Structures are given as C-alpha cells and as structure tokens.
Structure 1
Amino acid sequence: YFSADDGVHGRELWSTDGTPGGTRLLMDLNPGVASSAPTALTIADGRLYFEADDGQHGGELWVSDGTAAGTHMVKDVNAGGRPSFPSNLTAVGDELFFTANDSEHGRALWRSDGTAAGTELVKDFFPGSFDPPVPLPILPTHLTAVGDRLFLTAWDGTGGYGQLWVSDGTDEGTVKLDGSIGEDPRAGRLEVLTAVGDRLFYNHGEDLWTSDGTPEGTM
C-alpha cells in the first residue's frame, strides 16, 4: 500500500502486487482532484490503518481490507469536521494504538479494533482539553510494541518531563515506570525506544536504560 498522486485524483491510497497490472487506485477518498493525503500507513491484524482527510471530517483514522468496499473511516474521533490528527499508529497484537485529539481530552492515547464501537480513549495523561503548556515534546509519543504490551513516553503533569509508561490497553493498566530524572527536562528526555525480545531498551538522557514492563525491572 502507498499514497500517490496520478494528476487526476489528487494524492490517494493505492495498492500493488509488484506488477504494473496489479497496481491500482484503491479508493478516491476525497473525490476529484483534491487529496485525502493518506499517511501513517500501518498494518494491524491483517488490515491497513491510516490517517486521511475525506474533505468532510478532517484528518481521521481509516481502515482498509484491500478493497474499496472494505475501506472506510473507523471513527470520527473529533466530530464536527475538526481533525483529530491520529498519529503514532502502532500495532500491538490484533489491535491498533495511536494518539489523537478529540478536543475534550487534548492529545491522548487511543486504541482501536477497526470498528467505531471498539475505538476508545485509553489514557488522558494530562487531563483536560488542553495539552501541557510547555514548549517541549512531552505529549504521548514513541509508541513501541513489546510483545502484547505498549510502551510510550508521556507526561502527566507531575515530576520531570521524561516519563516512561507501559499500557495493557486500559486506563488502569497504563502505568508510569520511569518517573523522571531531576528538574531539568532535558536531563530526563527519553528517546530511541527499541524492542529486543521481551524487553525495551531506550536512551534516558545520555544513558542506556532497559525495562521489562515493571517499575522494579526498569533500570
């Protein structure tokens, strides 16, 4: 799957089997020369998830089984024509995790099984409709699958800005593992989250850390 602009339909979703004859426009999501601009193409449970704008709902989460009939918007997360801008799409088992802004919670962690009913908020790390009022990349990001768990970085408004979290897909099961290091936000910045077997490795400032998904096993 890929996005392309053929000069007629705008930038839309295409599929290919690796041959010219098997390469085709899958669906013109934003009809005409306008573009739906599919991005963040991600496979989960054999289906393609992506962010696109059909010209009516703004950038929202879509899913496709590889056919036009099976390609549709999953849920209008930010209703009223306002985009939720789903990003950080990450497959964990047969579900998709992503971040989005529904205007009620700010940018938060969501999950989806490909249905509207099964697309729900997991955790609002910084409660309320506004994102943290600091000029740093502390919104939920760096989503990384390790087995059947999701690791990510976020800030809940307490402690230093560098925080490692793990989630089982529920609010109660989304817990902080690595609170912070010091008051200087740059000292605790977490980056380069990488799964190796059943553990997570990551940079914490200038140091290499690892986690097994428990506070005691995060060091």
Structure 2
Amino acid sequence: MSEEPQNTKKPVPGYVKILAAAAVVVAVLLAVIILLPLLWPAPDEQQACLTAGQNDDEMIKVLYSTRDRGDWNCVGLMAEKILTASASNGHALYLAGEAARAGGDKTREMQHFNQYLSVEAKMNEAFEGAGPATCEFESNTLGYCPQRTGWIAYLMARNNFQTGRDSTNGQIRETFLKRAIARLDLSVEKHPQPFTAEDPKRDQLRQEINKELEKRR
C-alpha cells in the first residue's frame, strides 16, 4: 500500500504576511511622498511662483530665470497669471505654451501658440512687416519677434503632422497634414536661418509630411 507524499513545507506564519503587506504599503507611501512634489509644486511653492515680482514686467524677468533653471511647473503658473491681466503678452503666451509642452499637454500648448500667432499676425500688419528684430525682454516688452514666431510655427507644424499621421479619418489626416505644411512654410518665412541643432529637423519634417500626403493620393 503506497503512501501519499507528505507536504514538508512549513506554512508562512501570519505575522510574516502582515509584515510583508506593511512593507508594501510603506513603499507605496514613500513613492507618493517623493514623486508628488516633482509632479506639482507644493502650495507654498505655488504661492511663491504667483507672488514673484511686483508687477508684470518684473514677473516676466523672473519668468525667464525660472525657465533657465528648468522649473516648468512654476513657469506655467506665472505665465498663466500674467495672461489673466494681459492676454496678448507674447512672452507669457510663448512660455505658457512651452510649459504645457514640457508637461505633455499638447492641447494647452496649441491653444497658447495659436493665440500667439493670431496676435502676431495683427502686430505684423500694424508694423507693416517690420517688427522687432529680437525677443529679448529688455528691448522688446511685447514679446513678439520673427525668430520666436518661426520656432512656434515649427512646433505647431510638428504637432499637426503627428495628429494627421495618427488619425484614422482620411479627411482629418489630410486637413492636419496640409496645416502642418502651412505652419512649416510660415516657420521658414519668419526665420529662414538655422535653429542650430533643430534646423535639420525642419527639412526632415517636410519630407515626412510630403511622404504621408503621397500615401493618401
């Protein structure tokens, strides 16, 4: 008569299971504590961002220094505050768009950049095509200049291309791809000189857009 093999494995004590579960909970809490400040400024930090500078001009100066140190959350908060008082401020529109881009919010990015181009077109008409040559705040308080317009148009062309390429709707694809070409043309028109390392990407982007348009014919 054969005997069933006996299970010699000892059961895990209850207190060990409790300790393991507690360790998991502690690890999750630590992760939240560490990551939350990185994802969004604490209330005190938000208040510090919103109270920087005694007026819009001073805040814009702080805005650029904050951008230079890479604090995009604070840049976004400050830029949005400036825009509540001055909706057409080119410095704030541009940096609000860049802050949204850094945070992966493409919708907000495009809203701010579209507003920038809308105001810039009216200013360009008023200046009869001879607007400020640089966007340096010290010499250009409005915040609009050809190089910035060219850069924004390039970023918008890239976003439009990605939207058109990824759409499964033929009409939407074609609309956004053609919009990407128009934005890219504007970018080159406003700033034909190289954007340093980014400039080869404009040529590459045009090739990719044309390739996608050829697929649809």
> TM exceeds 0.5?
no
Greater relative CO, 1 or 2 (CA 8 Å, sep 6+): 2
More strand by share: 1
User: TM-score with structure 2 length normalisation?
Assistant: 0.28
User: TM-score with structure 1 length normalisation?
Assistant: 0.28
Quick check: which has more Rg, 1 or 2? 2
